[in-house]
Amino acid sequence: MDAFFAAVEQLDEPALRGRPVIVGGLGPRGVVATASYEARVHGVHSAMPTALARKKCPNGIYLRPRFGRYREISDRVRAVLRRHASVIETISLDEAFFDLSAAGRIDEEAVEIARRIKEEVQSETALTCSLGLACNRFLAKLASELDKPDGFLVIEPESVRDLLDPLPVGRIWGVGRVTERRLTGLGLLRIRDLRLAPIDLLTREFGSMGPRLHELARGEDGTPIGGEAEARTISRELTYSHDLTDPDEIEREVRALARVVAANLRAESLLCRTVRVKIRYPDFRTITRQVRIGVGTDADGIIERLAVHLLHDRVTLDEAGVRLIGVGVARLSETTARQLPLF
C-alpha cells in the first residue's frame, strides 16, 4: 500500500489531500511511521525523528497513528488477496506476499490476476497500491519498490541481471545502512559489483550472510512464501521520553513488555516458537536478537525468561543507555487448546 497510514488519514479527511501528512509519535522522542508523498518531497521519511521532520517540513500536518482504522483497511486488502491467492504471507499492515503460480512461472494468467488484484484493492479501499510480480520474493518486493506510487512492475527472468546490475547495493532486501557502508567500503557500490565479488571474500567479511548476499545479487531467492499465521508477528515496543541507563530498569521494562505480548498471544489463541528483543540506542542504532524454541508457547514465564536471557547474553548495554525497547514473538500457530500452568 502506498504511504498507507498517511493515505488513510487523507482518505478519511478530504481537507488533508494534497497536503504533507506525517503520521507517527508526536512527543520529543517520537519517530515518523509514514509520510505522505507530499511530505517526502521535503525529505521526510519513515523512521526519521519527528523533531527532525518538523524542521524539514514545518508546514506539515502531524498526526498520531490510528491503528484500529489502519487494521480495518488492511483486512479489506487481505480479503481481496484471499479471493485470488491460496498462499498469502502478511508482512505488516500494509505489505504482503502472495503466490499466483504453483509452477513458479510468470505467465499471462498471473499478470492478469495481479492487475485484477490491484484494481480491486483500489475499488474496495479507495487507496492505491504498488505491486511487483516476479519469480521470487526478493525480486517481487524490489519490483513493488521500483514503481511507486500506484505502480505495477513485472520482472521477467531474462531481464533480472540488466535490472539489478546498476542498482546500489542498498536496494538489496536486508541490507541496512551499516551493511551498506561495509559493502561500499570494500568497493562494492553496485549490485553488479556484489555479483562479481568472490564468495570467500563475502563469507570472510559477513559470515553466513555473505553467500546470501551473493545469491540475492544474482536475483536468486529460494525463500518460500509462508502462510498467514506463521508469517505474523506480535510485538510491543516503547520509545522512552529519556534514555534508560539503569540495567535493572531496562530488565523490568523487558519483563513487562514480554508479559503484554504473552497476553496478546493467549487472547488470539496463538502459540509462538520465536522470541525477539529489539533495542534502539540513543544514536538510533537498532539491533534485534531472537531465539527459537522447539515447542510453541503462550506462557508468561517462558517468554519473559527468554526475553531476559536475550537481553543479558546477546545485547550490549553501556552508559549511553537505550531509547527504545521492544519484545516480539514470531513463528505463530493457531491452537484450540493449551497447557495450563500447574500453579
DSSP state of 296: E
Catalytic residue among 95, 120, 215, 237: 95
**Residues forming beta bridges with residue 244, ordered by sequence position:** 322
Helices (H), the chain: 4-12, 37-40, 50-56, 67-84, 108-125, 137-146, 160-164, 177-185, 191-196, 199-206, 209-217, 228-231, 247-267, 300-314
Q: Which three cell numbers stand for residue 138?
A: 526478493
All 3 cell numbers of residue 246?
A: 539503569
The Cα 135–Cα 223 span in angstroms is 11
Report the DSSP beta bridge partners of residue 279. Answer: 287, 325
Q: What secondary structure letter does DSSP report for 158?
A: G
Distance CA 313, CA 267 (A): 30
β 21-24/286-297 pair status = unpaired
Task: Clarify whether 109 is annotated catalytic.
Answer: no
Give the residue numbers annotated as catalytic, written as ranges: 95
